Structure 1
Amino acid sequence: MMNDYKSLKEHYRFTPEEEETLNALQPKMASIADTFIDEFYDYIWGFGETAQFLKNQEIIDKHRKKIREWFINLFSGKYDLQYFMYLYKIGEVHMKIGLPTHYVNSAFTFVRTFVLKHIEDDYDNKEEHIKVINAVEKIIDMNLDSLTSSYREEELGRFLSLSKVEKKILTGLKEFNSYINYFLAAALAIVAFFSIGLFLYDIYLLFFTDVKIEEGILTVLGSLLVLWATIELIHEEINHLQGKGFAIGAFIMLAMAALIRKVLIYSLSSEKGDELLVIGGVIVGLAIAYWLVGAKKKHLRS
């Protein structure tokens, strides 16, 4: 770690003069630390899942205190081994609680914006202002680099602990999974295309054949429901390809939409009573499964 932190400062070309520049900012930053905390919390609550990590008032109070301490230390002017070990431990805590790295990156965007906003009117000399901005940018980037290094080292450690065969299998499975996801995305696009075709065909039957109006309207509504569910499923698959969780609820919703379409069609026939009962039971089962999936997500967020 000794060499790592020195190399980090060298790579960022972080100079002793910049340390002094940051230290000169500390009194002002300490005076607005409470404002920073309030605005910072307003920002992170916008993530949507923040409550999953800050579960009660005791944790929130402790976290606010730690963030305030970190913010003031950001301008301490002393960036030695102890400081970077402190940052590394914060990163380890983030990793252990499963805090997504993009939350950390986004939070640092707020920090950067907040600091630069509060120093922009303090300097008449443009050259001096630029020097201060450079120092602020560097220390924020080094903080982010140090905090996220815990994630990188954890992933690397897990990978290096595997045997050669396990590494090959893992790499192969990841590649295969990528191909499957692309295939699934293409398949969903095809399904959406046929759903549009089904919807247009049902409209054609409604207006240009002898199909009863009530039957035709219900059939069109059913096709529209299937198309809507397919679009939602494509949206969820796009999110999955972008690294978000797999939404099993979207598949359940599509299955329900297809069955509801059948119910709408069969409801006009007196000969389909038994089938309607079976389909109705399946829909109820799917609805319960959909509710359970939603309840689990809600529980995780709270």
Structure 2
Amino acid sequence: MNLTSRRTLLASVAAAASALPLVNDLAGNGSTAAAAGPAEFASNAALYSSDAYEEGVNWMRRFRCGAPVTLNDYAKDPAAAAPLGVLTSAPVRSTAIIAPHGGGLEAGTTELCLTLAGYDRAEPGTEPEPDTDTPGAVQRDYWMFETLTASLPSPVEPLHVTSTNCDDPAALAVCGNNLYAVSLHGYRPDDEPLAKRILIGGRDQRLIRNLARAFARHGLTSSLGVEVVVAGASSELNGDDPANIVNRTRTGAGAQLETSTELRRAMFGTFGSGSGRRKTAGVASATAPDAPAYWHGFVDAVREAVDRHERGLDSL
């Protein structure tokens, strides 16, 4: 893991997926990102070179690149004993988890990124430790850009660099080092601001299907009232641009998860601050009584979908 400095450089599996809405009005014509508005910087390089915002004061980035990949095909090695519960072949662990707009930009995506990458939710400026409390947690490559809102006298929106303009060298290395990637984003649906919604996009159609199936299987659509939407071709948030950082993988594809503000709010006992989110992810409170169900439902679903994808499985 590296702390960088600019200065130092659904009834059936098929039915579950096919039952999800494929819409454009919910996702491009009627939905905007949380940090909508004119972006001040056209690229990460432009932001990093600016004197207006300082690394470690206004923003930071954390990443890990180079997770070891273990290949063990039990089907081709009869002498090898497959661990209990493992399918014929072990998965190829090569999926990066990224959060291009973490910290105060799209709140909650930093905490989700670290958790899905198999690390604890360490404070900004500190190195996350591997999650040893969750059985089977897998450490993965990850990259996050984070705003440090406590140090910002002005709104954080100018620090929002769109995913298609992301040229951060660490982000490119992390995604380019992996076959697949999942990016975490936040947005507020214009058509229904209080909706709990997940908008799935990207270029990796098989990963998209696995994610849609997993969200349904873990009860987000049935028990928790989350609307899971597969982004339509004309959606502004469909994430299918080859230049999108999540698609800059070795396969040229990834999956983008846009989570609505109200869904992310429901995952945390205290949502309004970074310290509160780090301490109360999946912890019930008076304002978020079902935080454990929303947090674990989302995290477990993404982990399952990625695991299936890495095994070569498809939900159709």
Higher strand proportion: 2
Structure 1 or 2, whichever has the larger Rg, is 1
User: Structure 1-normalised TM-score?
Assistant: 0.21
User: Structure 2-normalised TM-score?
Assistant: 0.20
